[in-house]
Amino acid sequence: MLKKFEKHDMLILAVIAVGFLIFGLSTTLSKITDFIIFCIFVLGFDLYYGHMGRLSFGHMLYLGAGAYGAGLSAKYLSPDPFMAIAFGLLGGALVGAILGPLLIRTSGACFALLNLAFNEVGYFLVLVPLAGITGGEDGISLNFSSYGFVNFSNLKFLFPFSLSVLLLVAFLMLKFVHSSYGILLKAIKENEVRVQFLGYNTYIFKWITFVFSTAISGLAGALTVINYGYANPSFIDPTRNVEVIFAALMGGAGNVFGAVLGGTAFMTISNYLARYIIRWEMFLGIVLLIIAFRFRKGIWGYLREI
């Protein structure tokens, strides 16, 4: 099933690793770790958007499910960080698996808005009915165990760990999209009905892909909680969905490297431009307009062509 994994993809992964290491030397480790975790989230989002052609306006729900899955496990079960990561990943996957059968039957605006609706419900649940365990608006502060040098509170460990996770996720996604399964995703994106006439039950494949996408988002949520040392409603805030959409579009949807590039570009703009331009969001809007009219394949798509 797995094949066609090209050598130059490995080279680009190495360049990404070196790039983040150099970036890490020139800025705070906390910030660059944040960049890396956001890139993992963009990868998860883009699996269903870029590779399957379904735009979700509610992927913060799955990031939030991972964040609260990790946070609640650390708070109420065990402060073990690996267990928190596992619960985060499972949290994202579980919410995706439960909502998937309903969501994947829709497409276009309906899919986008249903995701947003569920994100709003999740946000409300965290804020009000479940405030007793989630800490409501204040969230919950967390401490994680350390095992010798494996200390997630120390950024000198968390930064290379997050970078390794990003590279691993990117590597697995490259394997995935170059496999027969990846061909199937491309075909479903182009014309789902025709794929059904080839003998495929496309719902099952869409569901599996959706769960992968939400699980990766959940993993990003768990790492976010570990990086910040708390879980609060901003990690599930539906208004922040625009960030991941912008990042995927900027980098070039439907490409693993485009997602990483877009995630980094978005975080760079939102973190550094804000120092010089008060309404930096306006600049982001202009960038998006330029991409929409001139560079539809995003930065990575453009780089590949030159």
Binding site for other proteins (CB under 8 A): 180, 183-184, 186-187, 190-191, 193-202
What minimum distance in Å lies between the beta carbon of 256 and other proteins?
16
Which residues 6+ apart lie within 8 Å of 295 measured at CB?
A: 301, 302
User: Two tokens at 1?
Assistant: 């099933």
* 197/276 with CB nearer other proteins: 197
Cα angle 51, 55, 58; round to 5: 125
What minimum distance in Å lies between the beta carbon of 276 and other proteins?
40
What span, in angstroms and rounded, lies between the C-alpha atoms of 112 and 56? 4
What single string gives the DSSP state of each residue in the chain? ------HHHHHHHHHHHHHHHHHHHHS-HHHHHHHHHHHHHHHHHHHHHTTT----S-THHHHHHHHHHHHHIIIII---HHHHHHHHHHHHHHHHHHHHHHHTT--HHHHHHHHHHHHHHHHHHHHTTTHHHH-GGG-EE----EETTEETTSHHHHHHHHHHHHHHHHHHHHHHHHSHHHHHHHHHHH-HHHHHTTT--HHHHHHHHHHHHHHHHHHHHHHHHHHHTEE-GGGG-GGGHHHHHHHHHHH-TT-HHHHHHHHHHHHHIIIIIHHH-TTHHHHHHHHHHHHHHT-TTHHHHHHHH-
* 107/234 with CB nearer other proteins: 107
* 52/265 with CB nearer other proteins: 52
- Output the furthest CA–CA distance in the chain (Å, rounded): 56
* 77/204 with CB nearer other proteins: 204
What minimum distance in Å lies between the beta carbon of 215 and other proteins?
24
* 195/267 with CB nearer other proteins: 195
What minimum distance in Å lies between the beta carbon of 16 and other proteins?
25
* 121/183 with CB nearer other proteins: 183
What span, in angstroms and rounded, lies between the C-alpha atoms of 189 and 52? 5
What minimum distance in Å lies between the beta carbon of 48 and other proteins?
17
* 123/300 with CB nearer other proteins: 300
What minimum distance in Å lies between the beta carbon of 189 and other proteins?
8
What minimum distance in Å lies between the beta carbon of 134 and other proteins?
42
User: Two tokens at 67?
Assistant: 């964040």
* 148/199 with CB nearer other proteins: 199
What minimum distance in Å lies between the beta carbon of 199 and other proteins?
4
* 31/189 with CB nearer other proteins: 189
What minimum distance in Å lies between the beta carbon of 174 and other proteins?
17
